[in-house]
Amino acid sequence: MSDDGRRFRFKVTVIGDGRVGKTSLIKRFTQGSFKKDYVKTIGAQFSAYNKEIEGDKIRLLFWDIAGQDTFHFLRPSFFKNSKAAIIVYSLEENKFGEESLEHVSDWHQEIKKHCGDVPIIVFANKLDLINEDKLDNSKIERIVKENNFLGYYLTSAETGKGVITAFNKIIDELYQKSKKLSDDLQD
């Protein structure tokens, strides 16, 4: 990284039901790896990631917040100072997948309550477990439009499909917003 650019630091909350793949998505993006074994997140985990855009240094802290209700009482402190959020649900064609999609709106309400009006993107994960050609996106498209999310991305933590594009969308949004604010302050 060069030494003459500006520095930006962003905390991004990653939330969704337990077992939708939040931790796996973060690991795929930050480390390029995937583990098949499920390990429940206790409370929250965080992962740091550095990126350079146009000579500016960006430090991202991804807060992976446990989706299980057991950890509900801890969430308010984990949301603090988040600049954006990623809501993850599972594309699995079963009750779990359907419920995780239904819960996207609940997660959105929790983000709004604790973070205010921050940019939100949705990751529809586990693309590797379904037939993409038969996927009906109408429900998620409606949710994204109604809530003014930045969009949604089909992802697979296992294969890596869509992961880099999806994470870069939220990073670029944060960077452009902060860069404009920084430029305006200098004028």
Smallest CA-to-CA distance from 6 within 187, 178, 123, 144 is with 178
- pLDDT reported for residue 183: 79
**C-alpha distances out from residue 56 to 45, 78, 80, Å:** 26, 27, 25
Q: b or e along 134-168 (b: 16 or more beta carbons within 10 Å of the residue's beta carbon)? A: eeeeeebeebbeebebbebbbbbbbebbbbeebbe
For 33, the token pair is 């790896």
One pLDDT digit (tens) per residue for the chain, 187 residues:
445 789 999 999 999 998 999 999 999 999 987 766 655 555 567 899 999 999 999 999 998 877 666 656 666 778 889 999 999 999 999 999 999 999 999 999 999 999 999 999 999 999 999 999 999 999 999 999 999 999 999 999 999 999 999 999 999 999 999 988 877 777 6
CB atoms within 10 A of CB 132: 11
Select from 1.10.20.10, 3.40.50.300, 2.60.34.10, 3.40.50.150 the CATH code of 7-186.
3.40.50.300
170, 119 in Cβ contact below 8 A? Answer: yes
**C-alpha distances out from residue 151 to 44, 97, 121, 124, 143, Å:** 25, 19, 5, 11, 10
- pLDDT reported for residue 2: 44
pTM for this structure?
Answer: 0.90
The residues pairing with 87 across neighbouring beta strands, listed in sequence order, are 15, 122
